[in-house]
Amino acid sequence: MCAHTTRKNTIFRIFFLNNIYLCLYKFEVYSMRILIVNTSEQTGGAAVAANRLMEALNNNGEKAKMLVRDKQTDHITVVQLPNHRVNRWRFAFERARILLSLRFNREHLWDIDTAQSGYDITRLPEFKEADIVHLHWVNQGMLSLKTIKKILQSGKPVVWTMHDMWPATAICHYAGTCKAFQTQCKKCPFLGKRSENDLSARVWARKLATYNAGFIQFVTCSRWLEGLVKQSQLLKKHAITSIPNTINTNVFRKTDKQEARKTFGLPADKRILLFVSQRVTVERKGMRYFIEALQQLTQQHPEIKDNTCVAILGGNADEIVENDFPLQAFPLGYIEDEHKIVSAYNAADCFVLPSLEDNLPNTIMEALACGVPCVGFKVGGIPEMIDHRQNGYVAEYRNATDLANGIYWTLFDADAEALSHAAIKKVNTSYSQQSVALKYIEVYNQAKAYKHYLK
């Protein structure tokens, strides 16, 4: 039986069982206890998305907690792993082994993970009391494949939200042009020397054995990623669906532009482009294409140098500005304060994120929620967020000229109020807390129905 038929039959069986399950429990008032597992509480896009989902679920009557290795706040709904310092040493050892496989070439050190080390969360009271175990980004020493296998063998329903491709590949977070994950990972391009039994082949075998220990309800944040990972041989026996991330529109909302600019000392009389990334120098975020597009714009429209500037929010922003930047640039640095981040978006006339690989960027969602039109490449989940020439501009992939066209159109040709209105409407329609929470609750019920069937 082919993988497509197997998955189709599995999904049909889950759908049928879910309806039976809902009928059995429709008269019972029941709040699910959901344990959301993520490496960090706040650092990184997956952490932000997981936190927002926890809030959305709790606001919709469920009981969600978050289990993390790195806790940054005193929120009572977020629990930190015990002995997390010991876990960091285990992770350091794992990273050393990866470096050895890379022959001490650090170029791709953070592009791959092996899940060799991790904490056994099945011993924790938070795990034991959970009705649903919801994994998110669990790399860098949070969970090992051995632990994931124990989670599956525990009998608890497991949902896993994929924030990148790692659960569907052997070791990489983004496969790029490599298609090996469709059959079996080996001869990994990240590892340099091509070998039939390299690190990727060995981890693939361990991952396959892990996944065969139970059933996982996978969720992708974008339809793009859903279509991609359905091709993976690792996931052929599991269900895959797509649910977008959510955002709190009571926090991320449109405010007074001039007041927002005063927060950072930004010019009141210029058009402002905004670029945001946790680390702005990460090649995948496309800063090189942004600079190239701005160089073209200043050559074609010299007046832009006088009426337009750039704000850069994120780590290493100073390094970018110190180089030969085409426009006056203001490095805002790395900011954790959510209200200041909202002000940064509201200070902008256009948000630009020319990512070369991305799933469903939280930054675009945040900008749209603040009524700021967005410009990005036609890649990943970005075209699902930016409606071309309605709330922004979708440029041809890796095309700096079209990116420049999109920036100019958004700033000078389009109706700014219409774009802003469409941006907010998009978020309210597609990414509201209630709509996303209800979709996840349905997935949780499907996962529980399947476990109920197995018993």
CATH code, domain with 16: 3.40.50
159 and 279 housed in the same domain: no
182 and 228 housed in the same domain: yes
Q: What pLDDT was estimated at residue 450?
A: 76
Establish if 251 belongs to a structural domain.
no
Low-confidence residues in the chain, pLDDT < 50: 20-29
What's the domain count of the chain?
2
Tokens of 416: 């700014």
208 and 304 housed in the same domain: no
55 and 22 housed in the same domain: yes
398 and 443 housed in the same domain: no
Establish if 85 belongs to a structural domain.
yes
16 and 45 housed in the same domain: yes
Establish if 90 belongs to a structural domain.
yes
Q: What is the pTM of this model?
A: 0.85
129 and 194 housed in the same domain: yes
Cα–Cα distance between 333 and 314 in angstroms, integer? 5
Q: What pLDDT was estimated at residue 5?
A: 52
Tokens of 198: 């390299």
239 and 264 housed in the same domain: no
82 and 207 housed in the same domain: yes
Domain range for residue 13? 3-246+433-454
229 and 270 housed in the same domain: no
199 and 288 housed in the same domain: no
Give the bridge partners for 352, in sequence order: 375
Q: What pLDDT was estimated at residue 154?
A: 95
Q: What angle do CA 167, 168, 174 make, to 5 degrees?
A: 90
Establish if 210 belongs to a structural domain.
yes
Tokens of 168: 């569907």
Cα–Cα distance between 289 and 295 in angstroms, integer? 10
Q: How far is CA 354 from CA 4, 244, 363, in A?
A: 34, 20, 12
Q: What pLDDT was estimated at residue 23?
A: 47
